[in-house]
Structures are given as structure tokens and as C-alpha cells.
Structure 1
Amino acid sequence: MKFIMTGKKLDIGESLRDHTSSKIDEIVNKYALEPIDCSVIVTKDGYRIITDFDLHLGKGINVRTHSEADDPYVSVDAALETLEKQLRKYKKRITDHHKKRDVEYVKTSAQQYVLDSSSESQELEAPVIIAEMNTDIPTLSVGEAVMHMDLSNSPALLFLNGSHGKMNLVYKRADGNIGWVDPHSAS
């Protein structure tokens, strides 16, 4: 596993780097995972320390966590605790996912745009595009899409439904539940 730990406005010492690396190794060994890479960004924002983890497990599965604390060790440990909770919740599905989806994992290319919401002279017909990039839309079941969205800590996930091949959307609702948009079933 490739491990990268960087600090923004903060010097990451060997002690914190070794502490984080050993904790990640414990978690990976505990859940019998073979991650491709792990990146950790520790940022100092005033008096707060913000830690962001991104653990790439392959086959489109990224586990992302975020934590804030007054101390770097406390912040890293809180993010690792959240990471472990997510892995514990989806342990069986993640390990089964690797075995049964090796050949079937399919992605469709699409164009992704980032629009400038702060532009004062925005017209309804032509919003200001500030970034344009390619993105992949995975083919998943609804349960797998919810798992991917939850693990990646995203508010929504667009996917091709494996049962009928149409675009679907799962999203986190304001009440804490998961919403699912399936235009195929609305006939």
C-alpha cells in the first residue's frame, strides 16, 4: 500500500507519521483488506487541526473520513475511528464485492462541470463554467451505490442501475435517510 501523509500549515513529524501508519496497518490487517493507497492530509486552521483520510480500496471504492480537534494526534485518531466504523459497517459487502465483481465492474464516461455560484452576472441560460473534467459513472446495484456513497462521504451518487441499465441517483436527505431517484420505474 502506498501511504502519503502531508501537512498544510503544519510540520508533520516522524512520530505522527509512524503513529498514523501503524494504526492504518492495524485496521487494514483487522479487516483483511488490500488497499491500493492511502492519503492523509493534516491541516492547521487557526487553533483547529483538520484531518482528512482517503483510503482507496480499488474497484471504485474510496473510504473518506474527516475530523477536527485541537491536537493532531486526537484529530488523526478520531478520523481513524470513523474510518474503522465505516469499514466495520460494510466489512462483509466490501470483501464480497472484491470477489464477485472482479470481471463485471463497468464504468461509463461522462463530462463533469463545476459552475461558479458566486458570479454576480449569472444568466439562467449560460452559467459560468470554472472547471470541466471527465468522470466515470459506475454500474452498480442500489445497495452497492448506497455503500459507495456512504464510504466516500458524498452527499449524492449518480450510477447506472445494473438491473435495467438506466441512470439512477441516491442521495442523503435532510432528515438523515437515503433518497433514491429511479426514473425507470416512473412510467
Structure 2
Amino acid sequence: MATFTVRGKNIEITPSLREYVEKRVGKVTKYFEHVGEITVLLTVSKGRHIVEVTVPIQGGIVLRGEEATMDMYTSIDLVVEKLERQIHKQKTKLSRRLRGGSLKTEVIEAQEKEHPVDQRDASPEYPVVKTKRFVVKPMDVQEAIMQMNLLDHNFFVFRDAETEEVNVVYRRNDGNYGLIESGN
């Protein structure tokens, strides 16, 4: 049985809502032998009901899904569907990464017979169709954000002027900026 952490922002987590979350989101555990603590964040913001689910799986793999609708129960249902689609589409890659039968492929294959899945991402390798090269110039974070905005991109790769490490700045959905630092 999976353990759950269900938190709410601007919403009270009633026993019936918690039970619904555990029942619906718990469906993804049938695909794996070992699942860590499942984290579910339910948020109500400007009339939108947002569900964020994080499912840690053995081997350092993390499934994550987010959905937003005008109804919390609909958002929960949609995020579960999204997670199941991810599992089906990545079945081959997951089974290779999770050696020792941790992925229950027979469950996935039984469901695929009932409901065929888009097979575009089911190949064992991701095809790389184009390679680009560019110089990663040394600059500070503020200059990198300015460059990203000038290019009208959602992310920008740069080399930190002080540490010489390659980092990424990105635009978040909330309009703020994030930084991904390379490190060991």
C-alpha cells in the first residue's frame, strides 16, 4: 500500500477528498513493485482547481503530473490519466531502467489491448533529428535573463562568469525566473 502526503493550498482537505485522491492516484502503484511516498498538492487559485502529483519510483525515477480545471475532482481524474499515459508511452525505457521486474509490464500490456496507446514514444531510443552547436558565453545571471528575454525564449544556457559552470535560467509559469545550476 502506498503512502500519501496530501496538502491543500486555499482548500480544506476533507476526508472524502483525501479518500478520492488516494483511490484515484493510487491506481498508478499497480504498475510498479516499489513506489515511494506519493505527494499530492491541491490548490485553488482564481477559480482554478490545480492538482500536482509527484510519484517517486525505485531507481531515482520520478513521475510528475499537473492538471488544472474548474473542478477539483475533474483535475484529479485528468492528472491520473496523464500519469498513466506517461507510463504507457515510456514502458520500454522504464522496463530497461527498472531492472529486476520492478515495472509490471503485464499490467500495462493488458490495458493496451483494451485501449491502444499512441506508440510514437515507445521506441527504445529517442531519435535526435538535429544537432546545434553554440558558444556558451560567460555572463552573470541577470545578463543571461536579459539575453533570454531579448531572444524571446523560455530558457537560456550560459556559463557563470565566476564559477565557469554551465547553468540554465528559465521563465516559470508564474512569470518569475528560475536557475538550474550544474553541480556534482
Change (3 A) 1:125 1:4: same
Q: What is the aligned partner in structure 2 of residue 120 from structure 1?
A: none
Unaligned runs of 5+ in 2: 103-137, 143-154, 156-165, 167-184
Matched, 1:7 2:8: yes
> Residue 36 of structure 1 aligns to a residue in which SS?
coil
Give the whole-Å Cα distance in 2 for the aligned partners of 1:9 and 1:52.
14
What is the distance in 1 between the residues matched to 2:83 and 2:33? 13
**Residues 13-68 of structure 1: per-residue CA shift (max 9 Å, x gap):** 11121111112333321x23421121010111011111111111132211111100
Greater fraction of residues in strand: 1
Contact 2:69 2:75 in 1 (8 A): yes
RMSD in angstroms over aligned alpha carbons? Answer: 2.9
Question: Which deviations, in whole Å up to 9, do the C-alpha atoms of 1:88-135 show, x marking residues without a partner?
Answer: 1112332331217x9xxxxxxxxxxxxxxxxxxxxx95446xxxxxxx
Distance 2:53 2:26 in 1: 14
Matched, 1:97 2:89: no
- Tell me the TM-score normalised to structure 2 length: 0.52
Q: More deviation in 90-99 or 9-18?
A: 90-99
Would the aligned equivalents of 1:52 and 1:64 in 2 still touch at CA under 8 Å?
yes
Task: Map 1:56-71; keep pairs closer than 5 Å.
Answer: 56-71=56-71
TM-score when scaled to structure 1?
0.51
What percentage of residue pairs aligned between the two structures are identical? Answer: 23
Whole-angstrom distance in 2 between the partners of 1:28 and 1:90: 16
> Deviation at 1:2?
2.7
- Residues 125 and 91 of structure 1: is their aligned pair in 2 closer, same or farther, counting only changes over 3 Å? closer
> CA offsets per residue over residues 63-91 of structure 1, 9 Å max, x none?
11110011110111111110111011112
CA distance in 2: counterparts of 1:90 and 1:79, whole angstroms: 17
Q: State the match for 1:81 in structure 2.
A: 81
Gaps of 5+ in 1: 103-123, 129-154, 156-166, 168-187
Which residue type is aligned with residue 63 of structure 2?
V
